[in-house]
Structure 1
C-alpha cells in the first residue's frame, strides 16, 4: 500500500506543479485540481482506504465530465484524458482487507465500468467523418484530357494539364481487391552518410512506348521494361554531396516526343554498360532531367546517351547569370515543362539560409538546342528578353519549386510561386516581389510576359509557398463551360480560377488577419480565403493532445506560452504557432481530378508548426542551416529562424488527431462531399498496431476512369485504393519502404492495366528508407 500511495503522491505532485504553471498562463484549472485530488487519495489510503476509493471515484466522474465537455464523444481525446486514470484505479480494487475491498468495489467498480465502457464506446463513433457520395454522372462526355495515348503517362501529372487522371477502366471498385504484385525493381540508389536529412524518393515514372523512365534522389535516370521491370539502361549524373542543400530529391523527368512517327515511337535498347559512358548523339526524342547540382540534362530515351544537339553536349548549367552562386543554394527538384518546342525550367532556392541568394527566375530554352528564348524573373517581371552575358537576375526573387502546367492551345504556362527568402522577414521585398509571391502566375509561352496573377497570401510571413501543380480542367458552370485552373494551397484552400483570365469561378473573399510584427515589418490586415476550403478551425487549448495526461499538460503549457491568435499569427521572438503548419494542408502531391465527373480527390493533412525568430545580436547560434526543419541562419538579416513541428515531449503532435484525411469535393458547387480519416500508426509507434488515427503524409493521388483513386503518401507503408464516389478504402498493399511519391498507371504490351509506385521513404518525416519500384496488376 505504501508504494501505491507513493505513486499517487508522485502523479499528484506532477499534475499539481504543472497545473499551477498552466494556471499562471491563463490555462485550464483541471490539472492542478486533479493533482490535488490524487495527493488527497495518497494521503487517505492508509488511515481511511474507503474514503480514498470514494475520493478517487469522484475524481473519475469529474474527469469524465471535463473530458466530454472539452472534446465531445471522440475516442482519441477521451482515451488519453481518461486511460491512465482508469488504469491507476485498478490497484485500488485489490489493496486492503477483504471487507474494505468489498466496500470499495461497491463504490468504485460501477463508476469505473461505466466510464471505461463509455470511453470504449466512443471508438465506434467517427466524430470527424463526412459521409456522402460524389456524383456518378458524366458531366462532360468528351472532356479535354490531353493528347497522351490512353495507355501511356507522358508527364508528371500524365500530361501538361496535370489532372493525374487516366482514362483506363480495367480496374474498378468491384475488382480492385484482386490487385497483386506483378514485379518489383530496386534502383540501388540509397541514402548515404553524407546526404542531407531530406533525401527523399518522390518520383513519378513516365511510361512511353513500352518503357518506364524514372529518376532517383541522386539523379540517376533509369529505363525499365514496362512489362517486367527489367532494367534497360541507367544514366548516373554523378552528383557531389553538398551539406547546404535542403533537398536531395527528383520528382520526375520530362519528355520531348520525336518529330515524327508518333509520341510513343521509341525503340529502347538494353544497355551493355553505364549510359553515361556512351558517346553523345543527335537526339530526336529527348528526356530532360534536372539535377540537384543545378544542371539540366538532355538524354536520348532509347539509349540514355547525352544529346549533343542540346546546350553543351546535353548539359545546361542553370547557374548562368545568377547574382549569387553558393553551392547547394539553388537547384530544380521538379521536372520542367516541355511545351510548344520549349523546355521551361524553374528552381528551388533554399529557405532562410541567406538574404543574398540565387534568383528564382523561370527560364524557357529551345528544347532542341538549349538556346535561351525568354526569362521571367518575378523581381524584374517586365523584362523577359534573354538576359545579356554579364547581366544578372534579381537577388533572392520568389521562386517556383513545384510542378508547372501548360495550356498549349491558350499559349499559357502556369507556375505556383513561392516566397522571397527570408520567408519570415518581409522587410526586404520589392513591390514586384510582393505581387508575385505565394501566388499562381500565368505566363505567355511565346514571350514569358505575365498574362495574369492570382495571389493566395498577402505579405507571406509563414512560408506558405504555393506548393502544388495547378490542374487544368474545363468546368460546366452556371455561366457555361469555363476553362478552369484548380490549385490547392498550404492554407487548405482550393482555388478554382478561370485559367484564361485568372478570375475566380468559385467565390474568393478576404478575412481579417492578426496584426503585430517585429519592428520594421508589417502584416497584411486581411488574407484571402476560397469558398472551397479545407482549413481547420482555430486551435484551442482543449485541442492539445498527448499520449498521456502529462505530455498533454506540457503541450497546453507550450500552447499558452507561444503566440497564437489564429491562422496568420505573425512570427515572433516569443515563438508563434503556425497552423496549418509548414507541411501545409496540401503540398506538392496536389489533387487528382476527374474531368468527366468534374470532381476532385485530395489528401488534406493537419500538423501545427512553431516559428521562432532568433535575434543574432550578441548570440552564439551554434549549428545553423539545418534544413526545412530546424534553425536557419538568414545570413545578412538580424534574425535567424527556427521552424519545427509542434510536438509533445514524447514526439507526438500536440494537437489531437486526426492529422490526415482523404476527401472528395464537387468542383462545380464547391461542396466537400466526403472526408475520411486516412492511414494508421503502424509505422509510427513502438508497437506495430494498425490503429486508424488519420495520419500525416506527403505525396499525391491519381484517379482512373474506372472510378478508383490510388494514393500512398501516408506515414505508414501502404499503397491504397479508394472508391472515388464514396471515399471508402477498397484495397491496400504493404510496401517495403515509405511511399512518399505519386503513383501512375498504364497499359503494358499485353493490354493489362498496371499501377506503379516508387517506394523509397522520406528523410524529414522518418519513413522507411528504400529504393523500390513496385508494380501491380489484376490477378489473371
Structure 2
C-alpha cells in the first residue's frame, strides 16, 4: 500500500511539474516575443527538467528545484521588493511544489540503496535534512523567511498627521444637527459640525435602529440598479428615496416609517441606471429670499389635518378634480404620459424598523396626516421636497404629509423634463442626482445614455422657479450663449455634454458649479463642435440668476476615456499666503484634485500641462497635453512587473495581455487592438466625491485604482449589434453599440481568466490631504476581499470604494462603500481605522450624520448594494449611535 501511494504521489508531482513547465515554456516564449521577461521561459525549462529527473528517480531533481526557488526569490525581490501579495503570486506555487517534492513519498523514490549501504545501515536517498533534500529545504526556508518578513513591510503606506484647526467654523442657515442637502449644504462638504463621536469613543458605536424599505430587485431592472441614497435630516425626520423611486419619511430617532410616496413610474424605460442618490429641500418661508430653516415636526405629534403644521405651512389642500398638463411648454402627448400623480400610502409591511430600544407611544403613533392611496393627493406647500424620477420628472412633495404640492407645476406638482428635448426616448434621460436649490430656483441636470447612439437627448442644465415651476433659464453646452427659454418649435442640442452628478452652489457669489461629462460616444470624438471641445469634462460656473457662463475649467482635453467629472465640487475657504481664499475642490476620475478659486476658476494649487500620448484612430486625434494638479492621486504608469494573479500562471497570462495591449501611460487613446486605460473609467474618484473639513482645511478621500481595457470595434452599419450578443429585453438599451458612429466599443476591467484584477493590489485606499499645500499626508490601503472571493477570507488587500465619505467635527470620518460589507470609522488625523460594523448588503452610498431628538449623534448608512459591482442587494437603512446612558440610568 505504501509503495502504491508513493507511486501515485510521485506521478502527481511529475505530471504537475511537466504540465506547468509546458505552460511556462510556451507562455514564456510568447512573452519574450512581445519584449517581456525571460524568467518564465527559464523557469518552465527548469520545471520540465525537474519532472524528467523525478521520473528517472534522480535526486538531482531536488537540486534543480532548489535553484528554481532561489532564482524565483531573487527575481521577485528585484521586481517588487518586500511586497507580500506580488511576492506570493510569483513564489506561492513554486513553494508548494517544493514542499510536495520533499514529501517522503517522493524522496524515497529518488536514488537507489545499494548492497553496501544496506549492510552498514546507511540510506543515501535524500530527505528533508539530508543530501539534495537539505538543499531544497534550505531554499524553501529562505523563501519562507522573506515571505514572513514582507508581512511587516507595507510599501503602499504613507504615514503622517493632518494639521489641527486653522479657522473658525463657518456658519450656515441650518441647525448643526441637521442635513439639508446631499452634501449637508449646497457647498458639498460632507462635513458635520457635530462632535459627540470622537476617536476616543467611536469604538462604542452600536446599532440604534434598522429600517427596511421593502424595495427589492424586480424583473426588467437594468444591471446598474443601485441604492446610493444619502438621506436628508430635517426636524426629527429623515427623507430618503429608493432605487425604484419611492420617497419615504422616517422618524430620525426611532426609524419608524411616517409616510411613503410612490411616483408611479411609467412602464418600460430605456434605462442604463436605476437609482436615486437623494432628495432636495426648500425650507418654508418666502422662496425668493434666503429663508432660515424651520424644523418639520414629526407626524407622530398629530393625526388630524388641522393639527400642528410646520411654521408657515398650511394643511393639505383638497385634491384637484381634473388632470392638468405639466409644464406649459411641454408637448401634449409627453405631458399626458408623464404627469402621473403617484400614490401616497401609510407605513407598509416591509417598511419596518428594527430596534432594541423601546419606542414611545408618541413615536409609534406616527401615521401620515393624509395617508390615502389616491394618485391626486395634493397639498399647498410652503416647504418642499424635490424628487427626480426615472421617467424624467421632478416632483415636489410636502415634507409634512408626503402629498404632491398642488401649488407647483400648474397644479400637477411636477416638472416634465422632456420639454424641448430632442430624441425623446423615455428612460434615456433623467436626473439620477438631487437637484440644486439656490434662492428662488431649482437647478436641474441629468444623465443621458452613454455609448448607445449618437442620437441622444441633450445635456442641458435648466433652472425653474421654485414656487411655480416655470422655466427661468436653460444653459446648453452645445449652444452656450443662449440661456433664455427657447422659442416655440426649437429643441436643445442633441448629445451635448451632460451633468449626471451633483452640483454645488455659492449663493453669496451667485454661482452654481456644474460638473460636466462628455458627448456620447465617449471614446470617439473627431466631429465634436467647438463648444463641446470647450465644455466636455469640465466644471462650469454658471450665474444662478441668468445661467450665463462665468468661468469654465476643463479637467481633460478632448476626452476619449469617459473621464467625465463625476464628483460634486466641495466649497470651502482655505488660507493661502496668509489670506483666506474661497476655493472649489474638484476630484476627477483620472485622480487629479483641482483646487480652484471659485470666484474666477483660476488654480490655487499649481496646475501644469504635461505631454500626453498620441496615436488615436484617424480621423480622431488626441490633445498634445493634459492638466496635472499639485494635488494628484494619479498612480505611476503600469509596468509588466505590476501584473498579478493568484498563481504564476495567471500572472503570466496577464503579462502577455499587458504586452499585447496598446499602453503608453495615462491618456493612451482607444485603439482597434485594445488600449489599457489606467486609471480606468471606474474612476480614482466617482460620484461619492470627497469630504472636506472647513476648520482644519483638509480633505478625506477614498481613491480607487482599477485598470480597464477599451477596444474600438468597427461597425458595418448603424443598426446591427456588434458588441452585444442579443438585444436586451424590453426597452433596456444595448450598451456600447454607439449606433450612428463608425465604431462600437468593448469596455471591460483588466482581469485574468480567474476574474481577478491583472494589476497587483492594493486597489483601494483611504487618504488625507492638506488642501493648503496639496500634500497627501497619509494614505492607507483599505478594505478586505471577504465578500469578493469564493472563500470568505478577510485579507486586507485594499479594495475600491464606491460612495463618498463623511467627516465630523469630532475628528472621525466614516465610509461604507468598500466592496466588503462594512461601515468603518477612521481617525481623521492619522487615517487609522478605529471602528467597523458588518452590513447586511453592499453599502455603496455616502453616509451622513445628524442629531436625534434624544440628543445623540447618529451615523446613518444605506446598505442596498450595487448591480454592476455585483455587491449583495438589500433594502437596509441603519443608524448607529453611542449607548444611551440616560436610558441606562433611568433603567437603574
When normalised by structure 1's length, the TM-score is 0.98
Partner of 1:689: 793
Partner of 2:93: 84
User: How far did 1:262 drift?
Assistant: 4.6
More displaced 10-residue stretch of structure 1: 278-287 or 756-765: 278-287
- Superposition pairs of residues 370-519 of structure 1, within 5 angstroms: 370-478=469-577, 480-519=579-618
Taking the aligned partners of 1:774 and 1:303, their CA distance within structure 2 comes to 23
Q: Is 2:472–2:485's contact at 8 Å kept on the other side of the alignment?
A: yes
* Per-residue CA distance 1:554-580 (angstroms, 9 max, x = gap): 111111111101000000111101100
CA distance 1:165–1:620, shift in 2 (3 Å) = closer
Partner of 1:764: 868
- 2:139 alignment partner, one of 92, 111, 130: 111
Partner of 2:725: 623
- 1:660 alignment partner, one of 764, 767, 783: 764
Partner of 1:279: 377
User: How far did 1:114 drift?
Assistant: 1.2
Taking the aligned partners of 1:319 and 1:678, their CA distance within structure 2 comes to 42
Taking the aligned partners of 1:451 and 1:758, their CA distance within structure 2 comes to 37
- 2:295 alignment partner, one of 265, 282, 305: 265
CA distance 1:236–1:683, shift in 2 (3 Å) = same
Partner of 2:821: 717
* Per-residue CA distance 1:619-666 (angstroms, 9 max, x = gap): 862437889999511111111011111111100111000000000000
- 1:230 alignment partner, one of 256, 261, 266: 256
Q: Is 2:811–2:828's contact at 8 Å kept on the other side of the alignment?
A: yes
Taking the aligned partners of 1:735 and 1:115, their CA distance within structure 2 comes to 38
Secondary structure of 1:184 counterpart: strand
* Per-residue CA distance 1:57-101 (angstroms, 9 max, x = gap): 001111111111111110000011101110011121121326323
Structure 2: runs of 5 or more not aligned:
1-9, 109-122, 300-366, 885-892
- Superposition pairs of residues 96-245 of structure 1, within 5 angstroms: 96-97=107-108, 99-102=124-127, 103-136=131-164, 138-143=165-170, 145-240=171-266, 242=268, 244-245=270-271
Q: Is 2:169–2:694's contact at 8 Å kept on the other side of the alignment?
A: no
Do residues 306 (structure 1) and 317 (structure 2) align? no
Whose Rg is larger? 2
User: How far did 1:273 drift?
Assistant: 4.2
Partner of 1:521: 620
Taking the aligned partners of 2:492 and 2:391, their CA distance within structure 1 comes to 19
Q: Is 1:601–1:662's contact at 8 Å kept on the other side of the alignment?
A: yes
Taking the aligned partners of 1:725 and 1:515, their CA distance within structure 2 comes to 42
Taking the aligned partners of 1:559 and 1:243, their CA distance within structure 2 comes to 39
Secondary structure of 1:758 counterpart: strand
Taking the aligned partners of 2:95 and 2:654, their CA distance within structure 1 comes to 22
CA distance 1:44–1:506, shift in 2 (3 Å) = same
Q: Is 2:173–2:292's contact at 8 Å kept on the other side of the alignment?
A: no
Partner of 2:76: 67
Do residues 58 (structure 1) and 67 (structure 2) align? yes
Q: Is 2:236–2:295's contact at 8 Å kept on the other side of the alignment?
A: no
- Superposition pairs of residues 497-576 of structure 1, within 5 angstroms: 497-576=596-675
User: How far did 1:547 drift?
Assistant: 0.8
Q: Is 2:269–2:732's contact at 8 Å kept on the other side of the alignment?
A: no
* Per-residue CA distance 1:154-177 (angstroms, 9 max, x = gap): 000001010111110100000000
- Superposition pairs of residues 641-660 of structure 1, within 5 angstroms: 641-660=745-764
CA distance 1:268–1:307, shift in 2 (3 Å) = farther
Give the alignment's Cα RMSD to 1 decimal: 1.7
Partner of 1:254: 280
Partner of 1:16: 25
User: How far did 1:49 drift?
Assistant: 2.8
More displaced 10-residue stretch of structure 1: 186-195 or 259-268: 259-268
* Per-residue CA distance 1:91-137 (angstroms, 9 max, x = gap): 2112132632322321111110110221122012111000000012x
Q: Is 1:512–1:525's contact at 8 Å kept on the other side of the alignment?
A: yes
Taking the aligned partners of 2:673 and 2:857, their CA distance within structure 1 comes to 54
Taking the aligned partners of 1:774 and 1:255, their CA distance within structure 2 comes to 22
Taking the aligned partners of 2:264 and 2:41, their CA distance within structure 1 comes to 60
Do residues 3 (structure 1) and 12 (structure 2) align? yes
When normalised by structure 2's length, the TM-score is 0.86
- 1:595 alignment partner, one of 694, 698, 710: 694
Taking the aligned partners of 1:192 and 1:760, their CA distance within structure 2 comes to 14
User: How far did 1:328 drift?
Assistant: 2.1
Secondary structure of 1:101 counterpart: coil
Structure 1: runs of 5 or more not aligned:
none
- 1:742 alignment partner, one of 841, 846, 849: 846
Q: Is 2:452–2:733's contact at 8 Å kept on the other side of the alignment?
A: no
More displaced 10-residue stretch of structure 1: 306-315 or 292-301: 306-315
Partner of 1:289: 387
Partner of 2:855: 751
Taking the aligned partners of 1:86 and 1:204, their CA distance within structure 2 comes to 48
Number of residue pairs matched?
778
- Superposition pairs of residues 22-37 of structure 1, within 5 angstroms: 22-37=31-46
Taking the aligned partners of 2:71 and 2:649, their CA distance within structure 1 comes to 18
User: How far did 1:329 drift?
Assistant: 1.3
* Per-residue CA distance 1:536-592 (angstroms, 9 max, x = gap): 000001101111111111111111111101000000111101100011100111110
More displaced 10-residue stretch of structure 1: 99-108 or 563-572: 99-108
User: How far did 1:717 drift?
Assistant: 0.2
